[in-house]
Structure 1
Amino acid sequence: MHVHKPVKSGFAPHASYANGLDFPTRPEHMQIESVGNLTIEKTEEWYRRVVDAVDTGFVLNQEHERKEMSHENGINVLGHMIHGGQHISPNPRYYGHLQRAGHVLLAKITDPKNKFEQPASVVEHYETSARDPAIYSFYKVIDHIFLRYKNTLPPYTRNQLYHSGVEVEAVKVIGETHASTANVLITHMEHVDIDVSDAVVMTPQQANIDVKARIQRLTHEPFKYVITVNSREQKKAVVRVFLAPKYNWLGEKLTVDERRWMAVEMDKFVTELNQGQTVIKRASHESSITVTGTQTYKQMMLDVATAMKGEHQMYTNKIVHKQCGYPQHLLLPKGKPQGMVFKLYVVVSEYNPVQESSTHESEYYGYCGHAGVKYPDTKPMGYPFDRRIVDEDQFFTKNIHGIDVVVKHVRHVALQSAA
């Protein structure tokens, strides 16, 4: 996406607000324009300043002092600069709020002068912005800023990658149906009934009626990882699982460095290694990055009522932070009917806890951590694929193992009810 070029894709949300107003429709090839005090020139200036900070390795704080973007904390500083905000950005006046600016400029593209007083578009709300394909072009720009920063960091040394005394001997992925083939993962479409009672205005007499809508969505056959690890001693370790494309869109094989930024973390968990050989089995639904279903307002009120009666314990952190989990049914890419080849990587690294886990913390901490506390991992997100890989032989230590897996999409529809 470029602010001086038309946005190619149009979008018709076919959705409306509770007051009956429709979300605006965007025709194809519309040109981004300034919106009030948020000008194109100002947004470009913010972008250049953020990129300059990345390239130089220094940020300018509010006291006009140059502060180094360290290897340990630089990614957090960069995130704060892009997000903006008076209390988190190192210099909100200088670096602006690039992320929010992108949402506003895209959202107001059909009525930048507010001549027709259109309601806010789907892009202006974070919870609905994912519906619009144009937002992904914008976030690709943001993603490239992070990649640009990561490329300024030195590659991991062998000592930073190697986990002494630990070797991953074998990895395989097995579907949970009897007809499954090892290292072949199946995706299909399914019909699901979702509760939409909160979106319907009902009388008190109708309050106990459940209103559901049936949708079609992508899902996958449940599967499990079987990981064989040999350890010199008994100890805890962190297991990371990544999935990355093996070939590009032309069918050419990608190098590890070319595919590293496309590697998606599928799971991350702490396990106990025995002295000698340990066989680790981990089900896909146990993933620390995913959630299964959402809690309706009616269910939440019922839980609160029973908790107040002392019938069970209710932990607010687990509810408040649940929106950060990735949908379990979207854990796998769609794949192709003939099969699409991916690389599955398993990385077993040392366990250095930032904090002790407690029973009320969410299990789906992979992408968002725990609410209100430090992220429970001493390694950066995406480790070890977050930095350049210049030497594959040095990168693949004994505790890192990769295999080929095939993702097949089949024509099969299942019916189930979602929470």
Structure 2
Amino acid sequence: MKVLLLLALVAAAAAWPNFGFQSDAGGESDAQKQHDVNFLLHKIYGNIRDSDLKAKADSFDPAADLSHYSDGGEAVQKLVRDLKDDRLLQQRHWFSLFNPRQRHEALMLFDVLIHCKDWNTFVSNAAYFRQHMNEGEFVYALYVAVIHSPLTEHVVLPPLYEVTPHLFTNSEVIESAYRAKQTQKPGENFFWVHHQLTVRFDAERLSNYLDPVEELSWDKPIVQGFAPHTTYKYGGQFPSRPDNVDFEDVDGVARIRDLLIIESRIRDAIAHGYIVDKAGNHIDIMNERGIDVLGDVIESSCIALTSSTMELCTILLTLYLVDRVILMERTQGQSPSLHSGRTTFAGVSVDSVAIEGKLETYFEDFEYNLINAVDDTEQIADVDISTYVPRLNHKDFKIKVDVSNNKGEEVLATVRIFAWPHLDNNGIKFTFDEGRWNAIELDKFWVKCKYLVFCLSAILY
């Protein structure tokens, strides 16, 4: 596939990152933290295999000393109370984030972990609740907590397809969509992640001579069905969708009429250039923050201004993702152009870009471990079990960029490399404006630009 490349060089707002292998002051080393997280997620449907973690799980009392929590123990007291009242989802039961109660229970555990002041409290709570909470809820809560907690800054999470391989045996997933520690502009991040999902999907369709994906319509059936061919560990097969399914009301969950009203409100907000908060105030979205504010409303995140529509908008996200991203793209297109100070790097310029090699793709068999997918006993040694799935890969190629730095000193910059398909499904060349909306981010990294001429080489793996 022919591609056009766009390279943006922008000033970085943060200092050069420190990737040291260190420990918290007075706390455990990063190596110990990594060990603990690995064993907490090992054989998630069985007993804890690490003796120290098992001892913590058996002896720890989460609510014994509330001074170890930054919220005064409010979250842990609530979770322990629900546990003692037998209100939590039992173990060996399927877990779904689209079930409001199950999602709430997972977030309750996340609240406990994120408020832990030290590693011993964090890992003791994790070990304790691993033994007492539903496995799916625990895995979700631990992953989110490790991503966001300052105590686990240098901990690397194992891939989910090895922790819960039964969910991915016949599936391909985008594992890093929300892995970044995104603390600012969550609405804009929501838009960016889902925009990348759609353009990648469209690029795959174009490479197979198919039209781009069409918008969904509430009054028209979904022509193509979907069968995931995956299973829950306990609870049977993932639901499948036959061909030509019509949208219908779901009792106690959502009605098509309500979803149409929400969609109409979102379209009206884009057309008028503002949204109305709960107090009746008009909030302008035709500015540089507009896409972030609108993204919050559509995602219905916990900081959204119109959070009362959370459950309905969650369903809207699942069923109507593509159209909503297109709506947000329209908003981006209507927003005022950014002033030059936001789109240039004063004193630093890109002089030339050259590509060594070609972007050649091929399929290769990828092997991953299935040991966590099977039940066993601690008395019998594990036997290596793995499977192969075909994955799309590409040969290495190098991008060489000549950069001039006339600022008189070394500066830190962020480099982002984009590519988009050269032709549409009719064989017509994309214009630049059309192409930029179909651009896929290939790489992003920090680099120190030396004074005067600087040559940057990026090998894309």
TM bin (shorter chain): 0.5 to 0.7
Aligned ranges 1:161-176 → 2 under 5 Å: 161-174=343-356
Secondary structure of the 1:262 match is coil
* 2:343 is aligned with 1:196: no
The residue type equivalent to 1:62 in the other structure is: K
User: CA offsets, 1:5-63, max 9 Å, x none?
Assistant: 01101122222222352223322111110111410010011111112112222211122
Residue 445 of structure 2 corresponds to 269
Is this contact kept in 2: 1:240–1:267, CA < 8 A? yes
Residue of structure 2 in register with 1:57 after alignment: 273
CA contact (8 A) 1:83 1:100 kept: no
| Correspondence 1:169-248 to 2 at 5 A | 169-174=351-356, 182=357, 184-206=358-380, 208-233=382-407, 234=409, 235-248=411-424
Gaps of 5+ in 1: 107-137, 175-181, 286-419
Distance 1:189 1:74, change over 3 A: same
Write out per-residue CA displacement over residues 297-324 of structure 1, whole angstroms, 9 at most, x where no aligned residue: xxxxxxxxxxxxxxxxxxxxxxxxxxxx
CA distance in 1, matches of 2:266, 2:221: 24
Alpha-carbon distance in 1 for matches of 2:309, 2:231: 37
| Helix, strand or coil at the partner of 1:44 | helix
Equivalent residue letter for 1:154: P
User: Per the alignment, do residues 187 and 94 of structure 1 end up closer, same or farther by CA in structure 2, a change over 3 Å counting?
Assistant: closer
Cα separation, 1, equivalents of 2:231 and 2:448: 51
Report the counterpart of residue 255 of structure 2 in structure 1.
39
Matched ranges for 1:26-175 at <5 A: 26-37=241-252, 38-69=254-285, 71-85=287-301, 87-93=302-308, 97-103=312-318, 138-174=320-356
Listed as ranges, the matches of 1:237-316 within 5 Å are: 237-285=413-461
In structure 2, C-alpha distance between the alignment counterparts of 1:69 and 1:59, rounded to whole Å: 7
- Once residues 338 and 300 of structure 2 are traced to their aligned partners in structure 1, the CA distance between those partners, rounded to angstroms, is 30
Using the TM superposition, name which of 212-221 and 58-67 deviates more: 58-67
The residue number in structure 2 matching 1:5 is 220
CA positional deviation for 1:93: 2.9
State the one-letter code of the partner of 1:224: K
How many matched pairs?
A: 243
CA contact (8 A) 1:46 1:95 kept: no
Contact preservation (8 Å) 2:230, 2:237: yes
Distance across 1 between alignment mates of 2:421 and 2:339: 24
Q: 1:55 to 1:206 in 2, by over 3 A?
A: farther
User: CA deviation digits over 1:244-263, x for unaligned, max 9?
Assistant: 12221112122111111111
SS in 2 for 1:9: coil
Query: Is contact 1:241-1:265 (8 Å) kept?
Result: yes
Q: Shift of the alpha carbon at 1:187? A: 1.2
Amino acid at match of 1:18: K
- 1:94 is displaced (CA, Å) by 5.6
1:394 aligned partner: none
Aligned-pair CA distance for 1:199: 1.4
- Tell me how far 1:166 sits from its aligned partner: 2.7
Partner of 1:115: none
User: What is the rounded CA distance, in whole Å, between the counterparts of 1:68 and 1:244 in structure 2?
Assistant: 32
Q: Displacement, 1:239?
A: 1.7
CA apart distance, 1:158:
4.5
The answer on whether the counterparts of 2:232 and 2:238 sit within 8 Å (CA) in structure 1 is yes
| 1:159 to partner: Cα distance | 4.9
Q: Is the 8 A contact 2:231 2:237 kept in 1?
A: yes
Distance 1:35 1:229, change over 3 A: same
Note closer, same or farther for the CA distance 1:10–1:44 as it changes in structure 2 (3 Å cut): same
Label 1:50 to 1:230 Cα distance change in 2 as closer, same or farther (>3 A).
same
Q: Which runs of 4+ in 1 moved over 6 A?
A: none
Give the unaligned 5+ runs of structure 2: 1-215
What code does the residue aligned with 1:198 have? N
Displacement of 1:152 after TM fit?
Answer: 1.5
Determine if the alignment matches structure 1 residue 19 to structure 2 residue 234.
Answer: yes
Cα distance, 1:78–1:49 mapped onto 2, change above 3 Å: same
Letter of the 1:24 partner, please give it.
P
The two structures have a TM-score, normalised by structure 1, of: 0.54
* Counterpart Cα distance in 1 of 2:317 and 2:345: 42
1:204 is paired with a residue of what secondary structure? coil
**Equivalent position SS for 2:329:** helix
Alpha carbons of 1:97 and 1:84: their partners in 2 closer, same or farther (altered >3 Å)?
A: farther
CA–CA distance in structure 2, aligned partners of residues 271 and 15 of structure 1: 41
Task: Looking at secondary structure, tell me which structure has more helix per residue.
Answer: 2
Provide closer, same or farther for how the CA distance between residues 141 and 15 of structure 1 changes in structure 2, counting only shifts above 3 A.
same
SS of equivalent residue, structure 1 residue 244: strand
TM-score, structure 2 as length reference = 0.49
Greater strand fraction, Structure 1 or Structure 2: 1
